[in-house]
Structure 1
């Protein structure tokens, strides 16, 4: 006897929304739309500082209501990935904008919260990644990295000594000359020249005593208290693309954070 026939159901063609593999079936629809917009950002469809399509256009593209798109865009704006501008549209957030320049730097002067920081480049070199850097940045030990050392000044006085590491393969062409030429924010340079957008960061903070070399650069006496801030910054897809170790002189500054 032949086995019973197995019913065959017609296969429904997958639309763009159903192809979003990263969105599980139970995910709310607006979260799925958020994931699709994120994929467009990650693919470079809309670059830093550029406008994205209107909510109406995105709703037509994804086959959902305008309200669903608005909720997805609201979350991306709350995550500082998009910026709404009244009467102008919605733009991809960029660290080149004044209000975004110091988004990851929480050092605030005691008397003037609007003060800006000057930069002094001390060194920029290519080297092989030590094991501890490779581990944090998901590289292989010995992969090329760019190491940058710089001072940040407030009112002419050094307040931050930064050591920065970037994956060498992602930032070919980043040289001392290019850094000295650039007048805007550091992350703005990485966006415009290399298409790498820092979207979030993790920090570890501890109190340390200034050693001889750091004390000389920060113009404090050896043993003075400093704030050590280690930051790992990520781009789309939670890919780590910058490791930074900063020593902060907080004698006339404080570390500010907003907790929700």
Structure 2
């Protein structure tokens, strides 16, 4: 049985600075998370073995395994049998099940295609300021796009990003379907969590024209605030969805 006594560990730098009094595996997780945040561990990278990490952090291999299991459960790492543990990449399959909750009423879930309608910089609204923690002098990047399943438009969404976190965004010639992978690969920003709120609304004339539905038709509004690995707000997203043949699905455990 692992000794649960809370003892300060030596810091990786060798300074001997304690990192707090939490369960030991949680302390180790924080240290390993810092490697993700600082870019020492990049998406797709093979991690050192549990034994090597235990040696580096001066803890038991069991403590390291528990920390890695916790990060794997949060989709930050991937275990590959016989090959080791890797930093998860924000590929379509992972993002689909972790962050995209719309599924067809019949058939298997699919990741939607996207068509960008507009993109540009602007001053933030009051809601954007509050959600993203912005000041009066800050600017945001807004992206509007249509998303489709099997060629059928199912939602129109507006994505708002803080400009200071995404320098040179306006230099992009193409905005890919999977923007979370773009954030990770170009700016080193990994989306670690998201909060969503659902509400029924009526389609505006503009949204109805883009979606090919009736003005005033019921839509599902999904507002999402996505955060990075340090729990800082990164993205505010508003999705207006036609739910004639799709539904919002969540597995509660």
TM-score, length basis structure 1: 0.88
Alignment RMSD, CA only? 1.8
How far residue 53 of structure 1 moved from its aligned partner, in angstroms, is 1.6
Specify which of 46, 50, 62 is matched with residue 45 of structure 2. Answer: 50
The structure whose Rg is larger is 1
Contact 2:9/2:57 (8 A) holds in 1 = no
2:141 equivalent in structure 1 = 146
Superposition deviation, residue 127 in structure 1: 1.2
In the TM superposition, what is the alpha-carbon distance from 1:101 to its structure 2 partner?
4.2
Q: Which of 111, 117, 120 is the equivalent residue of 2:115?
A: 120
- Give unpaired runs (5+ residues) of structure 1: 1-12
- DSSP 3-state at the match of 1:237: coil
Counterpart of 2:125 (choices 117, 123, 130) is 130
CA contact (8 A) 2:156 2:207 kept: yes
2:28 is paired with a residue whose SS is helix
Cα distance, 1:34 vs structure 2: 0.7
Which blocks of at least 5 consecutive residues in structure 2 are unaligned?
Answer: 1-7
Q: Does 1:32 align with 2:30?
A: no
- After superposition, residues 230-249 of structure 1 pair within 5 angstroms as 230-249=223-242
Matching of residue 210 in structure 1 with residue 203 in structure 2: yes
Measured in 2, the distance between the counterparts of 1:132 and 1:154 equals 30
How many Å apart are 1:148 and its aligned residue?
A: 0.2
Q: 1:100 to 1:131 in 2, by over 3 A?
A: closer
> Which residue number corresponds to residue 251 of structure 2?
258
Please, what TM-score do these two structures have when normalized by structure 2?
0.90
In the other structure, the counterpart of 1:7 is none
- The count of aligned residue pairs is 243
SS in 2 for 1:103: helix
Q: Deviations over 1:40-86 (max 9, x none)?
A: 11111101222222111100000111111000100111111111111
Deviation, 1:98, is 2.5
Report if aligned partners of 1:124, 1:176 keep a CA contact under 8 Å in 2.
no
For the 8 Å contact 2:112–2:149, the answer to whether it is kept is yes
